[in-house]
Structure 1
Amino acid sequence: MADPSLHSEPHLHSITNLNQITIDYTPEACTHTPSTNEISIVFDTRGGARWRSPSRYLHGTFSAKIQCPKGNTSGLNFNIYLSSLEGDKAQDEIDFEFLGKDKMIVQTNVYTCGNGNREEIHQLGFDCSDGFHEYEIKWGNDVIEWRIDGVVVRVEERKEGVGFPEKPMFLYASVWDASYIDEAKWCGEYVGCDAPYACLYKDVQVPACGYKEDS
Structure 2
Amino acid sequence: MTETSSIHRTTTLKEIAVDYTPEMCHHSPDTDEIHVSFDHRGGSRWRSPRRFLYGTFGARIRCPAGNTSGLNFNMYLSSLEGDKSQDEIDFEFLGKDLTSVQTNFYTTGTGGREAIHPLGFDASKDFHEYLIRWNPAEIEWLVDGKTLRREVRAEGQPWPEKPMFLYSSVWDASCIDKGRWTGSYVGCDAPYVCSYKDVRVPIENIVAEEEEGK
**TM-score over 0.5 for the pair:** yes
Q: 1:141 aligns with which of 136, 139, 163?
A: 136
Q: State the one-letter code of the partner of 1:18.
A: L
Offset at 1:79?
Answer: 0.1
2:102 paired with 1:69: no
Partner residue in 2 for 1:212: 208
SS in 2 for 1:9: helix
Give the AA of the match of 1:212: A
Q: Deviations over 1:66-104 (max 9, x none)?
A: 000000000000000000000000000000000000001
- Deviation digits for residues 134-175 of structure 1 (CA, Å, limit 9, x no counterpart): 000000111010000000010111113321100000000000
The equivalent position to 2:181 in structure 1, one of 173, 186, 208, is 186
Asked if 1:121 is matched to 2:121, the reply is no
Cα offset, 1:8, TM superposition = 6.1
* 2:21 counterpart residue number: 26
- Normalising to structure 2: TM-score of the pair? 0.95
Could you tell me how far apart the structure 2 residues matched to 1:162 and 1:59 are? 17
* Structure 1 ranges of 4+ moved more than 3 A: none
Contact 1:98 1:107 in 2 (8 A): yes
Residue among 67, 87, 93 paired with 1:92: 87
Distance 1:176 1:151 in 2: 28
Residue 83, structure 1, aligned to residue 81, structure 2: no
CA distance in 1, matches of 2:80, 2:3: 28
Alignment RMSD: 1.1
| Preserved contact between residue 12 and residue 138 of structure 1 (Cα < 8 Å) | no
TM-score normalised by L of structure 1? 0.95
Note if contact 2:63-2:73 (Cα within 8 Å) is conserved in structure 1: yes
Q: Which residue of 2 aligns with 1:4?
A: none
CA distance in structure 1 between the partners assigned to 2:170 and 2:132 by the alignment: 19
Number of aligned positions between the proteins: 209
Counterpart secondary structure, 2:7: helix
Deviation for aligned residue 1:186: 0.2
Aligned counterparts of 2:121 and 2:160: Cα–Cα separation in 1? 30
Distance in 1, matches of 2:106 and 2:158, equals 8
- Provide the residue aligned with 2:31 in structure 1: 36
The equivalent residue for 1:3 is: none
User: Could you tell me how far apart the structure 1 residues matched to 2:101 and 2:70 are?
Assistant: 14
Gaps of 5+ in 1: 1-6
In 2, the alpha carbon distance for the partners of 1:12 and 1:38 equals 24
Amino acid at match of 1:184: G
Are the aligned partners of 2:7 and 2:203 in contact in 1 as well (CA < 8 Å)? no
**Map of 1:197 onto structure 2:** 192
Contact 1:15 1:207 in 2 (8 A): yes
Measure the CA separation in 2 of the matches of 1:182 and 1:160: 33
Secondary structure at the residue paired with 1:13? Answer: coil
